[in-house]
Amino acid sequence: MQQFEQSETLKRLPEQFFASLVKKVQRLKDQGHDVINLGQGNPDLPTPDHIVEELKQSAGIPEYHKYSPFRGQPFLKKAIAEFYQREYGVELDPESEVAIMAGAKTGLVEISQCLLNPGDTALLPDPGYPDYMSGIALAGAESAFMPLTAENGFLPDYEALSNEDLEKAKLMFLNYPNNPTSGTATEEFFQETIEVANKHNICVVHDFAYGAIGFDGKKPLSFLQFDGAKDVGVEMYTLSKTYNMAGWRVAFAVGNPSVIESINLIQDHLYVSLFSSIQQAAEKALTADQTAVDQLVETYEKRRDVFVDKLHSIGWKVEAPKGTFFSWLPIPEGYTSQQFADLLLEKAHVAVAPGNGFGEQGEGYVRVGLLDSEERLAEAAERIGKLGLF
């Protein structure tokens, strides 16, 4: 059989680091072990019933069985604008400042193809979501990294970046609340970001995937809440985390009209939008009573408290996350992140993600998802405690 060589574009793509973790977990499960898998970011709770019912009821509408409008249903764009007005006090033009996407990952990859040419530079957080680099690779562009350290609240220090990187950069990716560090943004940070972006003519892409998940009574900040943000960038929001709709693949970009037009243009050539019944269910999610979202955040906060308390009880001194459904945990001396993750998996049958998979600055940490019951999270901590590492 003929073997057809992959294109140079595909060869540039980074390796999917976490594929090996999935294989390791499956191997132990196949051997009959009870693995507590806290290594991935897949929400474990179901989509709220009222959203599912909306999909069921609308699935029979004959008009929806045809192609959707290429750029999405006007009713969903209107709902997105209403959502941003209600939640953040941000005014959006549904037609020129909203783009509907098949999941935020899609937008975060294609934005580089929209705005970068071969040899251009994008600024990336380190550690950060690995798929930012996938889009940059597809565009044939280059990455420059912004270290996120505990000492700086896991925020980039713009003054520490080289002037050369700032001048060359055309795109900057940010993500708060942050995956993997669970750090949160401040007003001062977003205001400084707008100043830096204006000075160096950089387009900011704020990945707001965990926008609903803030703890201790603090609501995460939208980048677009700040004067001038819309002039310099866009924000990408997904329904995956807020409404437990990861498999539904619904997200949107909002903000700068020229960037929104570029996203819409590339999608005109790649997709025919989403099934309209899913768009109607998404409209329901955004405009209906938000009690289910409040309950979800409360659930994650309780899980966080149980897990962190248990870790403290076994001697693992960690900081409680301020947002997202992740904990970013410093590892004991004497191990690399990969070695420590492998040890927990092999000896305690607890799967965590090694921090180096998110970038060079992730070395020395592991990421743990709060994506199981309080009982299972407590058991995971107890299993780790029995290893006598702390």
Confidence bin at 377 (pLDDT 50/70/90): very high
pLDDT of 56 above 80: yes
Q: Is 294 exposed, middle or buried (0-12, 13-18, 19+ CB in 10 A)?
A: exposed
Position 60 scores a pLDDT of 94
| CA dist., res. 360 & res. 364, Å (int) | 10
Position 22 scores a pLDDT of 85
Number of Cβ within a 10 Å radius of residue 348: 21
- pLDDT tens digit sequence for 266-285: 999 999 999 999 999 999 99
Number of alpha carbons in the 13 Å side-chain half-sphere of residue 283: 18
Give the predicted TM-score (pTM) of the model: 0.95
Position 18 scores a pLDDT of 77
| CA dist., res. 356 & res. 364, Å (int) | 8
Position 21 scores a pLDDT of 82
Domains within the chain, CATH numbers bracketed: 8-46+292-385 (3.90.1150.10), 51-287 (3.40.640.10)
Position 25 scores a pLDDT of 86
Whether the upstream peptide bond of residue 177 has omega within 30° of 0, thus cis, is yes
Position 17 scores a pLDDT of 76
Position 163 scores a pLDDT of 92
| CA dist., res. 123 & res. 163, Å (int) | 12
For the record, the structure tokens of 341 come out as 């993750």
- pLDDT tens digit sequence for 140-161: 999 999 999 999 999 999 999 9
Q: What share of the chain has pLDDT > 70, as a percent?
A: 100
Look at 8-17, 139-148, 232-241, 349-358 and tell me which has the smallest mean pLDDT: 8-17
pLDDT of 52 above 80: yes
- pLDDT tens digit sequence for 57-79: 999 999 999 999 999 999 999 99
For the chain, the farthest-separated pair of C-alpha atoms sits apart, in whole angstroms, at 62
Q: Return mean pLDDT, the chain.
A: 95
| CA dist., res. 285 & res. 243, Å (int) | 7
| CA dist., res. 273 & res. 286, Å (int) | 18
Residue with tokens 């160096």, as numbered in its chain: 200
- pLDDT tens digit sequence for 158-214: 999 999 999 999 999 999 999 999 999 999 999 999 999 999 999 999 999 999 999
| CA dist., res. 175 & res. 232, Å (int) | 16
Number of alpha carbons in the 13 Å side-chain half-sphere of residue 246: 11
Position 348 scores a pLDDT of 92
For residue 133, the Cα-to-chain-centroid distance in whole angstroms is: 14
pLDDT of 316 above 90: yes
Angle between helical axes of 291-313 and 374-385 (0-180°, round to 10): 20
| CA dist., res. 211 & res. 97, Å (int) | 19
